[in-house]
């Protein structure tokens, strides 16, 4: 080998060795990081306003997470665009285990089907766990004169009627559209900016009915000011055990159960994901926390990442079909 070629070959070997050394150092650092995580405060991005189900479930267990992980866990509410603003913030974060996202499954299962300009892709996230399940409650003003779902369906087939929801594309809207399709009836959608103003107009009789979050309508149901007809999930609501599910009320096969889920930015190491998921399981699945969440119509579950991914995929197909059927598109 000539001197020139020998010199070039030597330089190439040095570059290969340097690259291998850097890769080994990175792998060692990553392994050490997973073993010693966390070493600083953890941020959970909640893409919804304070006071909602995601915010509530997180604040319920913050102290327990802190005690387990020995680091502060900080909530950051980034609401707007159906959760897209907060999700974009989380997706852009470093995959180092110090930023997570906690929100309703609709961020991943609905938004990509209805928003024309998505600032992130579902693939930007790694599902960690489904933390809880919740449904919606179908209520009507007493003046409507119906006490069962079948009575409402009969009335809606005979005359024009309307229902309120917390806005286009939210769980109440999509659940009601699925119910109308499966039940063979039609009601005009009246969207609001959140479930609270929607409930107020149903309460006043301005809109006859609404499919809304259970905690929003529960006080009015207990006061006898709203009539509950059915709940949208596959099981009865803990706070309304005498109210049937939609399937029990006659629309067989109906399932509009929603979930709160925890995600990591894509690339967070699996062992860090497993450690954080276990911390959530230890914090959530205690008798007092389970009972507290049941009072807000949430059923704690804490699934595995694999179960979460499979359920999110199924729900994405279901709600995507509903969105296309009603030609729902949002900017």
Which tens digits make up the pLDDT trace of 255-274? 999 999 999 999 999 999 99
Domains 40-134+259-325 and 136-231 in one fold:
yes
Tell me the C-alpha distance between 12 and 84, whole Å.
47
**Among 150-154, 188-192, 288-292, whose mean pLDDT is lowest?**
288-292
Stated as kind and residue range, the H or E segment containing 279 is helix 270-284
pLDDT of residue 5: 47
Which tens digits make up the pLDDT trace of 52-64? 788 888 888 999 9
Stated as kind and residue range, the H or E segment containing 325 is helix 305-325
Domain-by-domain residue ranges, the chain? 40-134+259-325, 136-231
pLDDT of residue 16: 41
Q: Does the N-terminal peptide bond of residue 38 adopt cis geometry, omega within 30 degrees of 0? A: yes
User: Among the CATH numbers 3.30.465.10, 3.90.1200.10, 3.40.50.620, 3.40.190.150, which is that of 40-134+259-325?
Assistant: 3.40.190.150
pLDDT of residue 33: 56
% of the chain beyond a pLDDT of 70: 90
pLDDT of residue 30: 47
Which tens digits make up the pLDDT trace of 126-182? 999 999 999 999 999 999 999 999 999 999 999 999 999 999 999 999 999 999 999
pLDDT of residue 193: 86
Instruction: Answer whether residue 8 shows pLDDT above 60.
Output: no
The pTM of the full predicted model, rounded to 2 decimals, is 0.84
Tell me the C-alpha distance between 323 and 138, whole Å.
20
pLDDT of residue 265: 98
pLDDT of residue 15: 55
Tell me the C-alpha distance between 196 and 79, whole Å.
16
| Residue 13 vs residue 194, higher pLDDT | 194
Which residues, 6 or more positions from 5, have their beta carbon under 8 angstroms from its beta carbon? none
Instruction: Answer whether residue 123 shows pLDDT above 90.
Output: yes
**Residues 233, 284, 254, CA angle at the centre, nearest 5°?**
10
| Per-residue tokens: 10 | 């030597």
Instruction: Answer whether residue 26 shows pLDDT above 90.
Output: no
What is the average pLDDT across 34-63?
Answer: 88
% of the chain beyond a pLDDT of 90: 78
Q: For 229-285, what is the HEC assignment?
A: EEECCCCCCCCCCCCCECCCCCCCCCCCCEEEEEEEECCCCHHHHHHHHHHHHHHHC
pLDDT of residue 18: 45
Which tens digits make up the pLDDT trace of 204-229? 999 999 999 988 899 999 999 999 99
pLDDT of residue 34: 67
What is the average pLDDT across 282-309?
Answer: 92
Tell me the C-alpha distance between 282 and 302, whole Å.
10
What b/e readout covers 112-132, taking b as 16+ CB neighbours within 10 angstroms?
Answer: bbbbeeeebebebbbbbbbbb
Helix 3-36 and helix 270-284: axis angle, to 10°?
Answer: 0
User: Among the CATH numbers 3.40.190.10, 3.30.910.10, 3.30.590.10, 3.40.1390.10, which is that of 136-231?
Assistant: 3.40.190.10
Residue 107 · residue 80 · CB < 8 Å: no
pLDDT of residue 23: 40
pLDDT of residue 11: 56
């Amino acid at each position: 080998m000539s001197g020139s070629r020998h010199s070039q070959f030597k330089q190439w070997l040095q570059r290969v060795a340097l690259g291998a050394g850097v890769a080994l150092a990175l792998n060692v650092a990553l392994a050490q990081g997973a073993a010693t995580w966390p070493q600083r405060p953890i941020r959970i991005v909640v893409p919804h306003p304070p006071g909602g189900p995601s915010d509530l479930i997180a604040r319920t267990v913050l102290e327990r997470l802190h005690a387990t992980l020995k680091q502060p866990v900080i909530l950051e509410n980034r609401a707007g665009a159906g959760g897209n603003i907060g999700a974009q913030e989380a997706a852009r974060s470093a995959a180092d285990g110090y930023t997570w996202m906690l929100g309703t499954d609709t961020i991943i299962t609905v938004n990509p089907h209805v928003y024309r300009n998505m600032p992130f892709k579902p693939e930007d996230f790694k599902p960690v766990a489904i933390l809880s399940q919740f449904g919606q409650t179908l209520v009507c003003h007493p003046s409507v004169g119906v006490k069962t779902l079948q009575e409402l369906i009969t009335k809606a087939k005979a005359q024009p009627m309307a229902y309120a929801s917390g806005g286009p594309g939210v769980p109440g809207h999509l659940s009601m559209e699925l119910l109308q399709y499966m039940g063979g009836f039609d009601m005009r959608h009246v969207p609001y900016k959140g479930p609270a103003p929607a409930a107020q107009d149903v309460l006043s009789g301005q809109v006859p009915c609404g499919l809304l979050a259970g905690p929003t309508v529960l006080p009015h149901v207990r006061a006898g000011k709203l009539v509950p007809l059915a709940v949208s999930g596959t099981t009865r609501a803990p706070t309304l055990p005498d109210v049937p599910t939609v399937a029990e009320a006659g629309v067989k096969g109906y399932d509009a159960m929603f979930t709160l889920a925890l995600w990591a930015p894509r690339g967070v190491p699996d062992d860090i994901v497993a450690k954080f998921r276990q911390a959530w399981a230890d914090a959530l699945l205690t008798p007092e926390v389970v009972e507290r969440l049941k009072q807000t119509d949430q059923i704690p579950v804490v699934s595995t990442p694999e179960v979460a991914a499979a359920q999110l995929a199924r729900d994405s197909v279901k709600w995507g079909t509903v969105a296309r059927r009603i030609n729902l598109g949002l900017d």
